[in-house]
Amino acid sequence: MTSNKAPSELRNRARQRWSRWLDQRIPLSRSVELGHRSIFIVPTSTGLIFTVLLLVLLVTAINYQNSLIYGVCFWLFSMAMGGMYFTFRNLKGLTLSAREAVPCFAGEAVDIPVRLDAAPKRSHLALWMNYPDPEDDSPPKVISVANGIETEALLGFRTHQRGRLRPGRLKLETRFPLGLYRAWSYVDLEVGSLVYPTPEYTPYIFATGDDDQGDLEGATLDASGDQDFRGLRPYQPGDSLKQIAWKQMARGKGLVSKDFDSDQGASCWLDWSNLGGDIETRLSRMCGWILNAHEEGLLYGVRMPGLTAAPEHSETHLRRCLQHLALYGEAASDSVMTEGGA
């Protein structure tokens, strides 16, 4: 074990230097146009085999004094030389820009939409894109950007931490057209999106509101949150898909919604001080509470450092609370972020 330590440390240091160098060369940005500073190119192993082919052809041509084989050999050689240009050009001028991803919870996989704009009058073919993940060797996405048409690629990324989505560098590679060279770039795109804490579902401990009750207010206690079926009523715009009585619809009776008896409308306070554990655990549990309360249709208020939100039930409210959880402890979020995803 000890013998492995030194090389791995060396490797780490090398990796750090490499990433520092990359940061200087291709800095974090919302949109990157690939140019000669950001594209790297080397021959592939296929390219090496091709070199062997060329040598065999050359020896055959010399030994048999055959002009046509000389011709084939030189033609292929020149084509391979020019191929470098074609491979490089396949990335050059391509503009990548990040789009907002749908917010997700830490630990979940998220599809990050990356927009690709072709250089004027160019197409960029057979691009392999992914966010490299050592734990996941699923194949990269293969994208072609046709001349003048913007294309969007959805790149999978497994999140690990709550906060702003920081997927790191995405890898964009191409071997088109000959497969003899590999041109690639690592692009660090700023994805305007949030990762909420992983929810941990624990029983509520309702906090006292203004009137010190520490319980649900205005709820019929015997219903205790179970959503008992009450009857059918005509569909109203805004009813969720879950509420629609599909069986009735199938019988041709039109859109009818099921009405439930529930805790809907009950209000409560969720308080940071009622949570145990370290900050991350508390954030996870708070997240679980909020999600449950929202799901059950409660009017919930949240009280935690930096946020006191009066009881309410709405998507905006939910989002605001989750956003606060996601960015908890980070510098105050700037305006661009708070508008996100509306």
Partner 1 sequence: MNQLPRSALLWLLAALVLALLPHSTHLPWGFALLGVLVIGWRWQMHRGRLPYPGKVTKAIAVALACLGIAVAFRNQFSLESATAFFVTASLLKLLEMKARRDGYLVVFLSYFLLSVGFLFEQGLLQALYGIAVMWVITAALVSLQLLNSGQQSFSIASRYSVGMLAAALPLMLVFYLFFPRMSPLWSMTLQSNKAITGLSGEMSPGDIASLSRSDELAFRVTYDDGIKPEREDLYWRGLVLDRFDGRTWRFSKNDRSVEWFPKVYQPAPDNTEARFYEIIQEPTAQHWLFTLKHGSALERHIGLTSTGLLVSRRPVHQRKRYKGVTDPYNPVLTSLNQFQRRHNLALPSDSNPRARSWAAEQFAQAAGPGAFIQGVLRHFNQQDYYYTLNPLELGADDIDAFLFDTRQGFCAHYAGALVFMARSVGIPARVVAGYQGGEWNESEKYLTVRQFDAHAWTELWIDGQGWVRVDPTAAVAPERIEFGLEAALQEEQSFLQGNLLSPHRFRGISWLNSIRMELDTLNYLWHRWVLSYDRDRQKSVLGNLLNSTSYKDMLMWLAGGIVVLFLVMGVLLVWRRPAQTASPLLKQWLKLQQAAAPLNLQQSPGDTSRNWLKRLSDQVPELQSPLMAVADRMDKLLYLQPEIPESETTSLIKEMKRLTRQVQRQARRVAAQKN
Q: Closer to partner 1 by CB, 8 or 63: give it.
A: 63
Helix (H) or strand (E) holding 63: helix 45-64
Q: Would you call the peptide bond into 177 cis, given omega within 30 degrees of 0 as the criterion?
A: yes
Q: Closer to partner 1 by CB, 193 or 262: give it.
A: 193
Q: Closer to partner 1 by CB, 98 or 216: give it.
A: 98
Q: Closer to partner 1 by CB, 139 or 203: give it.
A: 139
CB contact at 8 A, 101 and 112: yes
CB of 238 to partner 1, least distance (A): 26
Q: Quick one: tokens of 33?
A: 């146009």
Helix (H) or strand (E) holding 323: helix 315-326
CB of 53 to partner 1, least distance (A): 5
Distance, CA of 119 to CA of 96 (rounded, Å):
11
Distance, CA of 330 to CA of 238 (rounded, Å):
35
Q: Closer to partner 1 by CB, 205 or 337: give it.
A: 337
Distance, CA of 72 to CA of 314 (rounded, Å):
71
Number of H helices, E strands in the chain: 7, 18
Q: Closer to partner 1 by CB, 211 or 339: give it.
A: 339
CB contact at 8 A, 191 and 32: no
CB contact at 8 A, 187 and 32: yes
Distance, CA of 289 to CA of 83 (rounded, Å):
58
CB of 263 to partner 1, least distance (A): 39
Q: Quick one: tokens of 288?
A: 């679980």
Q: Closer to partner 1 by CB, 68 or 332: give it.
A: 68
| β-strand partners of 95 | 33, 117
CB of 42 to partner 1, least distance (A): 16
CB of 137 to partner 1, least distance (A): 10
CB of 32 to partner 1, least distance (A): 13
Binding positions for partner 1, rule: CB under 8 A: 30-31, 36, 46, 49-50, 53, 56-57, 59-79, 81-86, 88-89, 92-93, 97, 99, 115, 119-121, 125-126, 128, 139-140, 142, 144, 175-179
- When computed from its CA atoms, the radius of gyration of the chain, rounded to whole angstroms, is 29
Q: Quick one: tokens of 233?
A: 């009523």
CB of 122 to partner 1, least distance (A): 8
For residue 115, give every residue at least 6 positions away whose Cβ sits within 8 Å of its Cβ, in sequence order, or none. Answer: 96, 97, 98, 99, 150, 151, 152
Distance, CA of 70 to CA of 54 (rounded, Å):
10
CB of 227 to partner 1, least distance (A): 38
CB contact at 8 A, 123 and 92: no
Q: Closer to partner 1 by CB, 86 or 235: give it.
A: 86
Q: Closer to partner 1 by CB, 174 or 267: give it.
A: 174
CB of 59 to partner 1, least distance (A): 7
